[in-house]
């Protein structure tokens, strides 16, 4: 029988892609973790409802896949909360039919630090999956760049054990929900070494004085052409900074050495050097609707932060 709804069609495609990648796809009523090291279970029950797919490796849940329409690309946070919940916990039914709750504070030997922060766990998980010659580009929110505690540990280890060569800073609402600022971390994994692999990190600021909206002015490929030219994928060793303190203080492409970065408070990678023109150039402010959208984004981001704090207090 052929599935008819768009979501069912998406699941057919996902089933095939998972199987081609080596996963064994199973229905929630017929779970057999012994069938393979990697098992994908359809419609697995969580605290906030069933997830389309929960991925298990060695009987441990490691990820979730949701079958959503193509136009949900900007709603990653919504899907994340649907799958994991805001309290970062899931309830699993084991092979004996008993329910177990996982707070998602992973204690994995291949992780640098134990934390309930999903974004930091995501970074650690991706790095642990890479071969020693593997390369990665990961989309993360700003808190990964400045958060203390486990965040500082993860940043230091990322600088030491990989070549974290590039960070692209993006405007709000591009990959995450409205009001959430995103970045792309580019790094190459490396074998063990007594010396840090990262010698310097190149930053491209495509956020300061940049205004995009999802409907009227969405970000397009050509908007990133200048970044691609600076990135110089064919010969990254010959990159040239566009920023200069005297000749071009408005340059968006700048290099920071490893020593400069680890000397910063908490090894913060939350770096900006361009002046926000909206604070000084009152004659060239964005259009009123753009300003209104930006205000709404900031308010929504603030409300989300307060809800997370409240949820954290409620669990203590």
Domain boundaries, the chain: 6-102, 118-314
- Cα 2 from chain centroid (whole Å): 35
**Average pLDDT of the chain, as a whole number:** 81
- CA–CA separation, 15 vs 184, rounded Å? 28
pLDDT at 195: 96
| pLDDT tens column, 203-251 | 999 999 988 876 778 888 999 999 999 999 999 999 999 999 999 999 9
Q: What is the dihedral of CA 247, 251, 256, 260, to 10 degrees?
A: 70
The alpha-helical segments, DSSP class H, found in the chain are 6-20, 76-84, 118-129, 143-146, 150-161, 225-231, 258-262, 288-314
273: pLDDT strictly greater than 90 = yes
Predicted pLDDT of residue 71: 52
Of these ranges, 35-44, 77-86, 174-183, 273-282, the one predicted with the greatest mean pLDDT is: 35-44
Tell me, what's the pLDDT at 115? 85
Give the per-residue pLDDT at 282: 58
Residue 206's CB is within 10 A of a number of other CB atoms, namely 21
3-state secondary structure of 125: helix
Q: What is the pLDDT of residue 312?
A: 65
Quick: pLDDT tens for 81-137: 444 333 344 444 455 555 455 544 556 778 899 888 888 988 998 998 899 999 999
Helices vs. strands in the chain: H and E counts, helices first:
8, 11
Task: Give CB contacts under 8 A, 24+ apart, made by 111-117.
Answer: 112/153, 112/154, 112/157, 113/149, 113/150, 113/153, 113/154, 114/150, 115/149, 115/150, 116/88, 117/143, 117/147, 117/150, 117/151
Supply the pLDDT for residue 98.
Answer: 55
The predicted model scores a pTM of: 0.62
Average pLDDT over residues 150-167: 97
Neighbours of 57 (CB within 10 A): 14
* Phi, psi dihedral angles at 285 (to 5 degrees): -75, 155
User: 57 vs 196, which has greater pLDDT?
Assistant: 196
CATH 3.40.1710.10 assigned to domain 118-314? The reply is no
The candidate with the shortest Cα–Cα distance to 185, out of 233, 123, 111, 134, is 123
> For 283, phi and psi rounded to 5 degrees?
-85, -15
Residue 78: is its pLDDT beyond 50?
Answer: no
Give the residue among 99, 82, 83 at the shortest CA–CA distance from 91: 99
Least confident of 6-10, 27-31, 88-92, 105-109: 88-92
């Amino acid at each position: 029988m052929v599935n008819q709804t768009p979501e069912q069609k998406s699941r057919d495609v996902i089933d095939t892609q998972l199987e081609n990648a080596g996963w064994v796809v199973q229905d929630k009523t017929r779970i057999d973790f012994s069938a393979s090291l990697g098992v994908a279970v359809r419609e697995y029950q969580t605290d906030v409802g069933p997830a389309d797919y929960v991925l298990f490796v060695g009987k441990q849940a490691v990820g979730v896949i949701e079958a959503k329409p193509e136009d949900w690309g900007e709603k990653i946070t919504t899907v994340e909360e649907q799958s994991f919940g805001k309290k970062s916990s899931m309830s699993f039914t084991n092979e004996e039919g008993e329910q177990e709750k996982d707070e998602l504070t992973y204690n994995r030997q291949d992780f640098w630090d134990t934390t309930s922060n999903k974004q930091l766990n995501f970074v650690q998980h991706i790095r642990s999956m890479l071969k020693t010659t593997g390369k990665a580009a990961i989309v993360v929110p700003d808190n990964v760049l400045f958060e203390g505690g486990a965040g500082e540990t993860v940043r230091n280890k990322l600088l030491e054990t990989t070549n974290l060569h590039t960070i692209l800073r993006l405007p709000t609402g591009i990959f995450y929900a409205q009001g959430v600022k995103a970045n792309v971390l580019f790094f190459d994994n490396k074998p063990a070494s007594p010396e840090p692999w990262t010698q310097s990190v190149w930053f491209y600021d495509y956020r300061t004085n940049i205004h995009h909206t999802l409907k009227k002015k969405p970000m397009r490929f050509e908007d990133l052409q200048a970044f691609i030219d600076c990135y110089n994928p064919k010969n990254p060793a010959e990159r040239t900074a566009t920023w200069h303190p005297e000749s071009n203080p408005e340059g968006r492409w700048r290099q920071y050495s490893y020593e400069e970065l680890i000397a910063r408070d908490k090894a913060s990678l939350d770096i900006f050097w361009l002046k926000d023109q909206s604070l000084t150039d009152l004659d060239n402010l964005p259009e009123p609707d753009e300003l209104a959208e930006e205000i709404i984004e900031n308010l929504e981001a603030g409300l989300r932060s307060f809800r997370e704090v409240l949820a954290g207090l409620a669990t203590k």
